[in-house]
Structure 1
Amino acid sequence: MTRTAQEVLADAVRGLAPAEGANRLVPRIAAGEAPREVFAAFALEQHQVITSDRRSFAHLAARAAASDPASAGFFESLTRGEDLALSLLGPLTAACGLDEEAVRAHEPRPGCQAYPSYAAWLALGAEPVDAVVALTANFAAWGGYCAAVGAALREHYGFDNPACGFFDFFAGPAPELEERAVAAVTAGLESGRLSEPPAHRYGRLLQAYELMFWDALDGDHSM
């Protein structure tokens, strides 16, 4: 029985979802129990993450352009999204009392930068459509985390709407990106380029590095 792209993506989102309680920090934020310093650390680390991910997505788009235009479209959309995300990070950074010098001087935490480092690895060697599946699964978890944090920042920490815009952006629906993911996976199924075992392996590692990011925000700076 031939599976549809929607089924492939739904299986990845469901099968690669983090276990309940795997993210220890976001529930503490949602309850208003995390220290405010966590948000400054988040903003500083995300400046590094977004800059790196944007390059990775642009490279994946370039690699896919000739042979896999549907996947290229997905990564082009991600690249534009990273540009917007970086602009939305500014109000959060300012609300945390950080200026441009603080952003430039920040020494990133290895645990927070494992995710973009692995994304860069995928950009160099993964089949682009396999990366589409892996990233789509991760974005589902990331969007849920951002929704919880955005709500908590308003309710418990007194952040205004502009400061929460970064989280609102990732928590909100992304119909264009979803359509591009379906198009990419459809083309991958038709061409035989999509291979679910490596796609799920990539997704499993992305989810693990995602959790490492949150753990490192609230733990030892070396982690």
Structure 2
Amino acid sequence: MTRSAREVLDTVRQELLPSEGDNRLVPLIEQGRAPRSVFAALAAEEYRIVTSDWRSFLALAGRADERNAREFFAGLAQGEGIALGKLTALAEAVDLDEAALRAHRPRAGCQAYPAYVAWLALNVSPADAVVAMVSNFAAWGSYCATIAQAMRTQYGFDDEACGFFDLFGTPLPDDQAVAAVQAGIDSGTLTEDVSDYGRLFQSYELMFWNTIADEA
């Protein structure tokens, strides 16, 4: 019997739930044990990630023939535009202007994540890309919510500086994603490789956090 889109998403999410200790940076921030310089590193790396993901999501929206998938990726792209403005506030709070953000020398372990998102945008079906990304959103959102809280309680940042992590720490409704995946199931464009795409997506995200943790 063919699984429904909801069953596919729930299964892949469950398979990819990170284990305690997989992310070595967020617990340090949560406990106030990471140096304040970590936030400058996050701002500088995310500056490149957000601008790259924005283009990747637009590319996926352009490739998507199905309306729900197209609108899903267009919405993600719009969110990256909002995120970029909020990231500027974080950068200013840690004394980074735009020239400093542009001059930053990126870490390969951090930029592997957006490189993989760009690969997905070029190489997999939009339905597969939806599953890979949505399966990671819960973990990513949880990390961001934890960081936003710790920034206030452990490091004394104001609400404006926390806006980037507040944005991504707010859960998004997944009705459109479910509809896009269901369309992929119905059309036969959702493939058996989708779990591998999600696993790699999650692995590259953890590489981002842990690369910074190793330098903290």
TM-score, length basis structure 1: 0.93
Distance of 2:73 and 2:34 partners within structure 1 = 34
Q: In the aligned structure 2, how far is the partner of 1:131 from the partner of 1:51?
A: 18
Q: May I ask how many residue pairs the two structures share in their alignment?
A: 216
Q: Does 1:189 align with 2:185?
A: yes
Answer whether contact 2:24 2:213 (CA < 8 A) is retained: no
Query: Per-residue deviation at 1:173?
Result: 2.2
Q: Which runs of 4+ in 1 moved over 3 A?
A: none
Distance in 2, matches of 1:2 and 1:121, equals 28
| Matched AA of 1:186 | Q
Deviates more, 1:75-84 or 1:13-22: 13-22
Q: Kindly report which structure 2 residues correspond to 1:96-111, keeping only aligned pairs within 5 A, or say none.
A: 96-111=94-109
Q: What is the RMSD of the two structures over their aligned residues, measured on CA atoms?
A: 1.3
Checking the alignment, whether the CA contact within 8 Å between 2:86 and 2:164 is kept in structure 1 is yes
Write the deviation string for residues 108-164 of structure 1: whole angstroms up to 9, x where unpaired: 111100000011111111111001000001111100100110110001000011111
Given residue 102 of structure 1, which amino acid in structure 2 is its aligned partner? Answer: A
Deviation at 1:68, TM superposition (A): 2.4
2-structure distance, mates of 1:123, 1:13: 20
Length-normalised TM-score, structure 2:
0.96
Give 1:218 deviation, angstroms. 2.6
Shift of 1:171: 0.8
Distance in 1 of aligned mates of 2:55 and 2:169: 22
Structure 2 distance, partners of 1:14, 1:86, is 30
Instruction: Verify: 1:216 aligned to 2:214, yes or no.
Output: no
Distance 1:14 1:218 in 2: 25
Instruction: Write the deviation string for residues 56-112 of structure 1: whole angstroms up to 9, x where unpaired.
Output: 111011111xx3222111111111011011111111111111111111111111110
2:202 is the alignment partner of 1:204: no
Shift of 1:220: 4.7
Q: Distance in 2 between matches of 1:40 and 1:220?
A: 12
Within 5 A, what are the aligned runs for 1:42-191? 42-64=42-64, 67-175=65-173, 178-191=174-187
Structure 2's unaligned 5+ residue stretches are: none
Determine the structure 2 residue equivalent to 1:24: 24
CA distance in 1, matches of 2:79, 2:13: 20
Partners of 1:171 and 1:206 lie apart in 2 by 18
Identity of aligned residues (%): 55
- By how many angstroms is 1:219 displaced? 2.4
CA distance in structure 1 between the partners assigned to 2:198 and 2:76 by the alignment: 17
Gaps of 5+ in 1: none
The CA distance in 2 between the partners of 1:215 and 1:56, in whole Å, is 23
**In the aligned structure 2, how far is the partner of 1:54 from the partner of 1:99?**
21
Cα shift at 1:4: 2.1
